[in-house]
Amino acid sequence: MHYFGYKSGELYCEEVPVKKILEDVGTPVYIYSAKTIRRHYKIFEESFSEVEHLICYSIKANSNIAIISLLRQLGSGADVVSAGELKRALKAGIPPKKIVFSGVGKSPEEIELALSVDILMFNVESIEELEVLGEVAKKIGKKAPFALRINPDVDPKTHPYISTGLKKSKFGIPEELAIDAYKRAKKNSYLQPIGIDAHIGSQITELTPFIEALNRLKKIWEELVKLGFELKYLDIGGGLGIVYDDEEPPLPEEYANAIIQGGKDLKATIILEPGRVIVGNAGILVTKVLYTKENILRKFVVVDAGMNDLIRPAFYQAYHKIIPIEDKYSDYEVVDVVGPICETSDFFAKERKLPKVQRGDFLAIMSAGAYGFVMSSNYNSRPRPPEVLVDGDTYYVIRRRETIEDLLALESIPAKYL
């Protein structure tokens, strides 16, 4: 459920008319609902309430520090994959002992930063990373708590670009090598194995892959315990899908029940890394119709947002529902909704039946709260849009619109070329 809907024919975010926000900040613009984020987080939290657990919101889904801070107020920790995300989490007030550091390519500098602030643990993805972790820990005189990210070779049945738990994936350590890797780590006094981790993919809409991955982790956990390892954390990652179109993902309660039942024999604190399921349907991208045009084969609605603002349709061929911000239309037509970028892949919908809009109308691209702004770029030298957070009848600009001057500020012309 989300808090976007029509009132008297006008689209609202919670108690604020979307049009009011547009009058203030223009388009394109990302708009988020605080009430939706709270609701989704609390459902997740309540679903796991009967077991020891820690929710570490996956910052890569939406990394605005206001969003992170809102989640911190609710008790969330953070899953980070870079020094930048780590510093965002810290600036938003996330306690270091609620932060896990994932990612296949952590640099020694990033590892040292995370060790220096005493994060909860590292999710280690390779034998060489484990060696570097030990070296950096020795250098600064601190033990490095870690879990190995296991690649369980489970098909999450999602888009191949966001499938991370197969043998051909770059992520994690094959389960066949896991026990030896833990034994190797135990010989280093600066490495502290405290858990096991897996993350098999994103936008997963079935329970079976989660259960299969959990069962494989359990076998490794039980073998390690027999070998004398004192493990505390079972990190099962994230990946639970949301509804974009006609998907039917498991409810958080169903997901939680499967995980709780599957792991009930282990004396473990479960770490969860939800991202999309918390913020995905809590955000929209609003865009203005610049032109309508027609060629022999197609009709086009040209809008002022582009693939640089929301790349998911171009990158993943992802579906996003599109609705007008005014519910006033009686005529419909089949159109392509496209942006101003000089790429054929710059589209938000193809051959979609939509209200017959005209120049100056506004459209809301739904379910844009996750992997929207965070994946945006300045391609075609386009400033990125602002982000607005609505909370009840109040809204806040939590990231201002970039200017062309912002884009030029980091560049310089050598004197030779003046």
Catalytic residues: 342
Task: Give the Cβ contact number of residue 174 at 10 Å.
Answer: 12
Task: Give the Cβ contact number of residue 63 at 10 Å.
Answer: 20
**Is 371 annotated for ligand binding?**
yes
| Residues with Cβ within 8 Å of residue 241, at least 6 apart in sequence | 158, 202, 203, 204, 205, 247, 249, 276, 277
**Is 395 annotated for ligand binding?**
no
**Is 176 annotated for ligand binding?**
no
| Distance separating alpha carbons of residues 57 and 71, to the nearest angstrom | 8
| Distance separating alpha carbons of residues 13 and 33, to the nearest angstrom | 6
**Is 273 annotated for ligand binding?**
yes
**Is 392 annotated for ligand binding?**
no
Amino acid at 325: I
R_g of the chain, CA atoms, integer Å:
23
**Is 274 annotated for ligand binding?**
yes
| Distance separating alpha carbons of residues 323 and 391, to the nearest angstrom | 22
Please name the helix (run of DSSP H) or strand (run of DSSP E) that holds residue 129, with its range, or none.
helix 127-140
| Distance separating alpha carbons of residues 379 and 77, to the nearest angstrom | 33
CB 333 within 8 Å of CB 356? yes
**Is 298 annotated for ligand binding?**
no
Pairing label, strands 347-355, 394-399: unpaired
**Is 184 annotated for ligand binding?**
no
Task: Enumerate the β-bridge partners of residue 334.
Answer: 353
**Is 239 annotated for ligand binding?**
yes
Known binding-site positions for substrate: 276, 312, 316, 343, 371
Known binding-site positions: 239, 273-276, 312, 316, 343, 371
Known binding-site positions for pyridoxal 5'-phosphate: 239, 273-276, 371
